[in-house]
Amino acid sequence: MSKYDVIVVGSGPGGYVTAIRASQLGFKTAIVEKENLGGVCLNWGCIPTKALLKSAQVFEYLKHAGDYGLSVKEYDKDFGAVIKRSRGVADGMSKGVQFLMKKNKIDVINGYGKVKPGKKVEVTGSDDKKTEYQADHIIIATGARSRELPSLPQDGKKVIGYREAMNLPEQPKKLIVVGSGAIGIEFAYFYNTMGTEVTVVEYLPNIVPVEDEDVSKQLERSFKKAGVKIMTSAEVTKVDTSGKGVKATVKTKKGEEVLEADIVLSAVGIKTNIENIGLEDVGIATDRDKIVVNDYYQTNIPGYYAIGDVTPGQALAHVASAEGILCVEKIAGMHVEALDYGNIPGCTYCIPEVASVGLTEKQAREKGYDIKVGKFPFSASGKAKASGNADGFVKVIFDAKYGEWLGCHMIGAGVTDMIAEAVVARKLETTGHEVLKAVHPHPTMSEAVMEAVADAYDEVIHL
């Protein structure tokens, strides 16, 4: 039986990053993967969706070339070629992870992994042959998949999840997106921009419901302006796939309405991959579909750990990576600080983009803070106006007493690349006055952060 210091089960952005850090720390490391290296994120999620969204953005620029003084007389889209490009980007990234495994001398074990008692992992290969491996430390990073609702069973053709939405053989004329989190909203933007008639159905009163209400309202305005139909406080109670397309019954405050479409995309969250991986055999504790871990991702059974979507933290790629690094550094005896889940940035890559970190205005008030709120619209930004991207704003929230930066919320072009300023500043316990006195370059989108802070302290110049 092969023996390792560390075996990681799952090779998504949590798993493969964990394996690399373990190897860097001198551990003999193996990683188990049943499909493609990189997991959902690199192959069916984060990366290929960004390729699709970029194609949509370029197509949108072509449509509005006249706004920039340019004349493009003939242009069209090739939906198949757009999908092919996305798949090519994903394949390239997966090959990149293969290279990183070789570079860091990590053994890649292909097959379906199950944890076993006695610090063992059983791997079933494509030939159904079972092989056992042993390790001092076993890290579970099996991720998650599209969640299915009883009223919305997925058949992979007419009612689909995110995976099928990335690889459709032809573009639907009409699409219903159920759920308006990051996945649903990004696909709604992509398909609408490519010419599909899109309806978004959201159970809660606002789309992107985890975001600040001002951001949600702005995104709804932008989407409606682009032609997306938005139904909030609405629920799909049943779907009928017996005909050529799909008929979805939607319950609203006004009653029931039947929507017809070619396809329904279910984007109502994720389900963790914790079934049939041996947790019960080992005695690893779970709670509400998550593996129970401490601050350093140790389960209740010594030698077994869990990171990423299978644990209670935010189900985000960058969270999984951070957790994995922290986990193996703790195993190596390094001094590490527990992850601050209150300072995790969230990003949605539709157009306009959405990015946020920390408390919303509502949350800050509910916690009893006396707050200062600043807001700077991109319509007052020279860079935004020059680039033709004046939709959106930066909103900041500070504790009035101590100047603590409680939250930052952005909607606009490129804001997912701007939010890190707020994350680092909050990590360093930077005050509003310190941000205000840090010179920001002009003209840039990022100076809107400084301007929003200035607005919070009644010092705004350009508004």
What are the beta bridge partners of residue 116?
A: 120
Domain contains 326? yes
Residue 179 marked in a binding site: yes
C-alpha dihedral (136, 138, 139, 145), degrees to nearest 10: 170
Residue 313 marked in a binding site: no
pLDDT of res. 42: 86
Task: Tell me: do 59 and 112 sit in the same domain.
Answer: yes
Task: Tell me: do 245 and 303 sit in the same domain.
Answer: no
Residue 438 marked in a binding site: no
**Other Cβ atoms within 10 Å of 63 Cβ, number:** 12
Residue 186 marked in a binding site: yes
Task: Tell me: do 45 and 190 sit in the same domain.
Answer: no
Residue 69 marked in a binding site: no
CB 394 within 8 A of CB 449: yes
Task: Tell me: do 180 and 59 sit in the same domain.
Answer: no
The answer to whether the bond into 117 is cis (omega within 30° of 0) is: no
pLDDT of res. 194: 96
Task: Tell me: do 7 and 117 sit in the same domain.
Answer: yes
Q: Which domain holds residue 163?
A: 159-268
Task: Tell me: do 95 and 183 sit in the same domain.
Answer: no
The C-alpha angle 109, 99, 101, rounded to 5 degrees, equals: 40
Domain contains 210? yes
Domain contains 12? yes
Give the catalytic positions in this structure: 442
pLDDT of res. 1: 75
Domain contains 462? no
Task: Tell me: do 42 and 63 sit in the same domain.
Answer: yes
Count: domains in the chain: 3
Residue 88 marked in a binding site: no
Residue 182 marked in a binding site: yes
- Of 251, 268, 285, which closes a domain? 268
pLDDT of res. 25: 98
Q: How far is CA 10 from CA 18, 30, 32, 155, 318, in A?
A: 10, 10, 6, 26, 15
Domain contains 192? yes
pLDDT of res. 349: 96
pLDDT of res. 445: 96
Residue 156 marked in a binding site: no
Angle between the N-to-C axes of helices 79-103 and 15-24, in degrees from 0 to 180, rounded to the nearest 10:
20
Task: Tell me: do 241 and 275 sit in the same domain.
Answer: no
Can you give the CATH number for the domain in which 416 is found?
3.30.390.30
Residue 303 marked in a binding site: no
Domain contains 24? yes
Q: Tens-digit pLDDT profile for the chain (463 aa)? A: 799 999 999 999 999 999 999 999 999 999 999 988 998 888 888 899 999 999 999 999 999 999 999 999 999 999 999 999 999 999 999 999 999 999 999 999 999 999 999 999 999 998 999 999 999 999 999 999 989 999 899 999 999 999 999 999 999 999 999 999 999 999 999 999 999 999 999 999 999 999 999 999 999 999 999 999 999 999 999 999 998 999 999 999 999 999 999 999 999 999 999 999 999 999 999 999 999 999 999 999 999 999 999 999 999 999 999 999 999 999 999 999 999 999 999 999 999 999 999 999 999 999 999 999 999 999 999 999 999 999 999 999 999 999 999 999 999 999 999 999 999 999 999 999 999 999 999 999 999 999 999 999 999 988 8
Q: What DSSP line would sit under 409-460, residue for residue?
A: EEEETTGGGTTHHHHHHHHTT-BHHHHHHSPPPSS-STHHHHHHHHHHTT--
Q: Cα–chain-centroid distance for residue 27? A: 30
Can you give the CATH number for the domain in which 181 is found?
3.50.50.60
Alpha carbons 332 and 280: distance in angstroms, whole number: 27
